[in-house]
Structures are given as structure tokens and as C-alpha cells.
A and B are shown apart, each in its own frame.
Chain A
């Protein structure tokens, strides 16, 4: 899951006072700490959820204290846009890094590669691993070891304003060509623009790329693929959507602008993920919650696909309180907490068993998003996975503002990848 860069906050971070977990014996060890000691001390947890979600996450995290009264959970919300850099600064400098962090799926391999994460194999953190969706496990593994526990899974979908589409008399578009056609009717009948196109965040480029049958890189054969024909076509699609006024876009603040446009009804559709369900429903267009429709991301000329995203829980290798951190990860990725996350925020669980719970099963958003997630495209889980985005961002900006042609943009992105991935063709 990726969201718009949110700007720098001045959250002051103080490293929690950490105590060894093994000191005082005698307690019951239902936590599976292994040493027979009762868990104690502080677990600092960096949460990256957004404004609409963070209150729920804080409550859930602090719920851990009910099970382990001697452990203090220090909850810190770190905006998504800053979290990666902040963690690297803290972990590399060995001061102020959290014990547990909610880590984006593409960050795990990167952090693990740099030695910042504790391997979790054989620790209490990994519990009932057979219960995890296989695609959720993919991003937690790096070079044969497991570095994270999956917490939520997601993908992109097309959010649409049912009323606006109905007023315009158009069906939900199945591909971008249909969307472009429908756009004229929508504009004429309702005055709204058809689509908000996130031009500021490269994650949103992937459906266009997958829609042409393309990919960023082929990690198995070590080939850069983004500069082939599919990549060029993908850049062409976004350019023509904006040029034909079927879509509006921004080079900055896309997260806020997109959500606002959707909520206010100035756009009829937006490609978005489950993390914005709560935020969208707070808007005036969706006072009637049923007005928010969700459909698969439109396809391209040859295929249909959206990237698989989500969040994992990882433990900092330098944590002074590893046992309690493992237990905290186990708790936060447990079926119980995942169910609560779903009930409150409609976020998708990573455990198969949670999908069997009636309340989850009947959740409208789950009904839609679960099949979408099952069909989502896994990204290359390589250490440089997260760095593959920046070149796309620069080039999609350039294409949308007309300072590069789709051909030039695809080539420049491919060149940047080869510079980054030295052994790739």
C-alpha cells in the first residue's frame, strides 16, 4: 500500500526505555516467550496508518497491554511518506528505532538486506503460518528467511460514484478505452470529470503497465522490462486520458486532492485502495454509504491487473526487548486483531481463517476486495523493489506535463533501473 507523500511532521521520537524480558520469573507463560519469564518492558510501535485509521490502530496496539500487563506499548504514528526514511535514519544510526514497525510490503526486503530486521523464523512472532494467504507471505521472505508477519493485504480498485454514473447513463468501465468514451457523457450530463488520475505516485502507474501486459522488471531472469512496448503504451494511456480531459491529475498532493475530488463529487471515479474506504465515506457524496461503488481496476489493451500491496509487521534487529516484540507481532497479526481491523476499517485480513468469520465474509468491501487481492499481481520482492518507484514518478510527471514523450519516459526509466540493478539486462 502506498499513499501520497504527506510532508514532514515534527513527531519527536524518544526511544523507549527497554528492559530485559527474562528477569522476573514465576509468571505463567501463555505468551510463548519460551524462557518461562513473564514479558515486561516497553515495546515502541511505529504505525503508518492514515488519519482515518490511526485511532483504531492505537486502540488495537494498546490492547496488547491487557494480555501482558507488565508490557507498556508506546504507540507512535509515523506518516507513511516519512516512515521509510525515518526508520532508516534511526536504524542505521542505531538510535531511536522502534521495536516493531508496520512496514510496507516493498520495504521488507530492503530493510532485511541492510541488516535492520530480526529474522522471525522459529520465534513466537510467527504463529499459525499455514493460515496466511500465500501471496501475503511472499513479501515477508528474503533470501530464505522470514523477516515479517503479514498484517493487512490490499490492492487497487476503481472507486466510483454510483449516482454520477447513473445520471450520465454509463456502465462502470472495464478498461481505460471504455472509460475515455464514458468520460464525454459524464462531463456532459453531470459536469464531473470521469477520473482522478494519480500523477504524483508511481504505484498508481502499475495498473496501466500491467494492463498492457508489461512489468517493471523480471526478477527471475534479471531483465528490465519497463522500457519495452508495454511500458511505452502505459505512458501513452495516462497521457491521452489527461489530454482528452477524461482525467484530471496533479504532480503534488495527489492523495488529498484525489480523496477530496471523489468526496465532493467533482470526479466520478478514482483508482484507490481499501485504506481510503473510511475517508471516502466521510464525504458529502457518500452520505448514503451505498453510493460508493467498487469495481476492478480498468484494464489496458491486453490485460487487467493491479499491484498487490499491504502491510507487514517487522521487528528491529537492535530491539532491546526482542521477546516482547515477538509477542507483540504475534498479537497484532493474530486472527482476533485482524478481524477487529476489518470490522472497524474494512481493511483486508491476511489470514484465511478470518475470511470465514461471518461478519468479515459479509462485509461489502471484503466481498469485492478479496477476489481482487487474489488476482492482484505480486511485485518483485527484491531489495531494490521500493527504489523502482522513484524513476517512474519522475517520468510520469514528465509525460503528464509534456516535457517527455512516452518513448523517452520508458527509456529513461529503464536506464535508471539498469543503473540501480547492476546485474540486470
Chain B
């Protein structure tokens, strides 16, 4: 019965994964892999080099610099998205007029293809002609170099990613809130619990299962959030906003000849990092009695 599953996993997950790991142990690049161009057949001439790529990557300060920013970016984005999502979900989790409208409006960013949102943001951020700086100028404030200053660029990419990520959090947490029985709140109110106490003791525990899942998912997505960084700043200015995945992309698509092996090594390292994060996170949850 499980044969089809094994087959599908083997083909769509196993093969690329094994191939990637294999490439990371070689010196394969665009100039020495096998190619068929028209009538020409160029044989593969790359060699097995063991752990050389990993040694090179891990002893290079570039990796550690990028890792530092990637962690900051992930923690910043996930915590902001979660907090904003939670606040909005709480506000929407009651009967109020026009609730459907608010919900739809808040889900809208999610419905727009990410690259379109990012391009729109890029126009808004344009230092010379963007609307954000026009608005500031109206208030007599100097133009902000949104994408042209390392610190502002970091804040700008985080802002866009939060904007893109909030709807998901909102929907997930709203679902979680609605699964908490109303009787609990009523009982607590009878016992004289204030709004904050109710939130601390009913809402937070009630949301734990949902929030632990969305936080893990969101962490993994954000860690690998290629389009926002690449389309907004291409990792710039300089390499200020370059995260691990955009750097790996640079190695295998911008440098020439394209460095497949080192890029694969970066990919494997990213996978290992995220796996470790997921395992540690699960352990921590299990210790708190969460079955996940």
C-alpha cells in the first residue's frame, strides 16, 4: 500500500536531495558538468573532492556574516508577524459590523502574487520618486534612503516580509481562537478574571497547538525567503541584506562559470541548520507537554 508513496517521495524528494548532497562533495561547475549542445556532447569532468567545499564555506567569514543576518532577519520577521497576527486575530474574533470586510481586506496581501507585491513595494521605496518619500516630504521630513542604506534596507525588507506574512498568521490564529470554547471565557468572567487574565490563561494555552506549528513553519519559510530579498534589493546595498539562500543563488547563477558544487554545499548546510532548529523546537515543545 505504501509503495506509491515511497515511489513519489523517492522521485520528487529523494533524487534531488541525494543529487544535491553528491554535488556538494565534488568540484562540479558549469564548465565541467555533462552537456549536450546540439550535436556536441561534452562529458562530465568534475572530480570527487570530499568535504573540501564544506571546509571552504565554514572557514569563510562570508558564511558566518550571512548566517548572523539570516538569524536576525528570521527572528525579527517571525516575531513581528506573529505578534501583529495575534493582535489582529483577537480584534477580529468577535462580532462586529463589517467583520467579513476586515477579514477580506487583511487576507488581500496573501492573495496577491508575492513578486507583484514586492515590485510595488520597490516603487514605494524608491528614494527619488517613491510615494513614501513624497509623503515624508509633505510633512517636511528629509527623504529616507529606504533601500540605499544598509540599516534602512534591512528594516525595509523586514517590513515587506511582515506585510506579506501577517495574513497567514491572522488566518491560522483566528482559526485557533474560534476553536476555543466560549464557555471558558464566560466561566472566567464569572470568576472575576479581567481581560488580560483571560488572555493569559485561556487564549494563550488554547492557541498553543496552532501557534507552535505556525511559528515553526514561518521560521522555515522566512529563513529561506528568497523572493523578498532578491527582488527588493538583490542582497544589496553591498551585501547588507543578503541571506543564506540568496548567497547560494549568487554562487550558482550569477558567478561564471556557475559554481554548482559550492552552492550545493550551502544548500546542504541550510537544510542541516533548519533540521536542527526543527528538532530542538519539537523537543522543547514536548518538554512542555505538547504532543506534536
State the A residues within 8 Å of B (CB): 5, 7-8, 85, 88, 91-92, 94, 110, 113-116, 118, 199-200, 248-253, 257, 260-261, 266, 316-320, 383-384, 386-387, 390, 393-395, 397-398, 400-401, 403-404, 420
Contact = CB atoms under 8 A, between A and B. Distances in A.
Contact of A250 (B128, B231, B238, B255): B128
Nearest to A390: B254
A248 B145 CA distance: 11
Interface stretch (B32-40, B99-107, B171-179): B32-40
A387 B126 contact: no
15 contacts: A94-B37, A114-B31, A251-B147, A251-B236, A252-B236, A257-B128, A260-B128, A316-B37, A317-B40, A318-B39, A320-B38, A383-B257, A387-B255, A394-B238, A401-B150
Contacts of A7: 119, 231
Q: Which 6 residue pairs spanning A and B have beta carbons closest together?
A: A318-B38, A398-B238, A251-B237, A397-B238, A397-B237, A318-B37
B258 interface: yes
Given A252-B237, A384-B256, A398-B237, 15 more contacts: A7-B231, A114-B257, A115-B37, A115-B40, A200-B236, A250-B128, A250-B147, A251-B153, A316-B38, A318-B38, A318-B40, A390-B255, A395-B238, A397-B238, A401-B238
B138 to A, nearest CB: 18
Interface string B241-281: 00000000010011111100000000000000000000000
B234 A5 contact: yes
Nearest to B153: A251
Contacts of B31: 113-114
A318 B255 CA distance: 23
Interface in B114-166: 115, 119, 122, 126-129, 147-150, 153
A92 B35 contact: yes
Nearest to B232: A252
Contacts of A260: 128-129
Contacts of B150: 401, 403
A390 B255 CA distance: 8
Contacts of A394: 236, 238-239
Interface in B211-246: 231, 233-234, 236-240
A134 B194 CA distance: 85
Contacts of A114: 30-31, 257
Q: Is the interface of B mostly helix, strand, loop or mixed?
A: loop
A223 to B, nearest CB: 21
B29 to A, nearest CB: 10
Contacts, number: 109
B127 to A, nearest CB: 6
A393 B39 CA distance: 38
B155 to A, nearest CB: 14
A395 B239 CA distance: 8
B30 A383 contact: no
A420 B236 contact: no
A382 to B, nearest CB: 11
A34 B255 CA distance: 39
B184 interface: no
B83 interface: no
Contacts of A116: 37
B261 to A, nearest CB: 14
B209 interface: no
B42 interface: yes
A195 to B, nearest CB: 14
A91 B238 contact: no
Nearest to B147: A252
A285 to B, nearest CB: 16
Contact of B148 (A92, A118, A250): A250
B240 A115 contact: no
B42 A115 contact: yes
Nearest to A403: B150
Interface in B70-103: none
Nearest to A109: B256
Given A92-B35, A115-B35, A404 B238 contact: yes
Contacts of B37: 91, 94, 115-116, 316-318
Given A403-B150, A404-B238, A8 B231 contact: yes
Contacts of A390: 250, 254-255
A118 B115 CA distance: 36
A319 B237 contact: no
A317 B42 CA distance: 12
Nearest to A89: B253
A97 to B, nearest CB: 9
A411 B62 CA distance: 15
B36 A401 contact: no
Contacts of B255: 387, 390, 420
A270 to B, nearest CB: 13
A317 B35 CA distance: 12
A88 B35 CA distance: 12
Best-buried of A7, A91, A92, A252 by chain B (most CB within 10 Å): A252
A94 B36 contact: yes
Interface string B2-20: 0000000000000000000
